């Protein structure tokens, strides 16, 4: 599989980057934002985004163990906080939409850990990584091209 050369409009990329920055800033928890972005990228098999967000997470102090076990977060015991687990469950529900909607129990579990604005920003982070994943996967953008 080779990378596609589909042009990505600079204005579009700038707008999506601004949306990402706003959602992350509003969430107010950079470490959690990166966990969410890595988990969404794992689900969507976006190697470029996963590579980029692993790099950002490591630079921000995330541990190798937590990154390595992220794909199995639900089975990782207390490695992730209750708040992180609620956010990761919501990430999976929004990303996959298995039943065509986010289950009430998943949404309510997240709502216990985030105020209304925080929950809106969390959903924003989830939504924006899904957007980026779809752009990069459809273009078959290979990992390694990210520069901070």
The DSSP secondary structure of 42-82, one letter per residue, reads HHTT-HHHHHHHHHHHHHTT--HHHHHTGGGGGGSGGGS-H
Question: 39 is written with which tokens?
Answer: 């988990």
Contact 2, 138 (CB under 8 A): no
The domain spans of the chain are: 31-139
pLDDT (tens digit, 9 = 90+) per residue, 35-58? 999 999 999 999 999 999 999 999
pTM (global) more than 0.85: yes
What phi and psi values does residue 93 have, to the nearest 5 degrees? -65, -45
- Residue 8 pLDDT: 76
pLDDT range class, residue 146, cuts 50, 70, 90: confident
Q: Would you identify the CATH topology of the domain 31-139?
A: AhpD-like (1.20.1290)
Query: Residue 2: pLDDT above 70?
Result: no
5 pLDDT higher than 90 = no
Average pLDDT over residues 120-126: 97
Query: What is the C-alpha to C-alpha distance for residues 105 and 133, in angstroms, rounded to an integer?
Result: 26
- In the predicted model, is pLDDT for residue 143 greater than 80? yes
3-class SS at 111? helix
* pLDDT tier, 147 (very low <50, low <70, confident <90, very high otherwise): confident
For residue 19 the two structure tokens come to 């949306």
């Amino acid at each position: 599989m080779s990378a596609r050369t589909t042009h990505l409009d600079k204005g579009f990329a700038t707008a999506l980057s601004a949306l990402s920055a706003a959602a992350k800033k509003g969430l107010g928890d950079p470490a959690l934002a990166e966990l969410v972005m890595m988990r969404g990228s794992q689900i969507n098999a976006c190697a470029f985004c996963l590579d980029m967000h692993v790099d950002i997470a490591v630079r921000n102090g995330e541990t190798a163990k937590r990154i390595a076990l992220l794909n199995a977060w639900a089975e990782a015991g207390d490695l992730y906080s209750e708040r992180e687990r609620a956010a990761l469950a919501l990430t999976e529900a929004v990303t996959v939409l298995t039943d065509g909607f986010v289950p009430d129990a998943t949404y309510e579990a997240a709502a216990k850990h985030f105020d209304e604005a925080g929950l809106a920003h969390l959903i924003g982070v989830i939504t924006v990584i899904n957007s980026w994943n779809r752009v990069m996967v459809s273009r078959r953008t290979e990992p390694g091209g990210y520069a901070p």
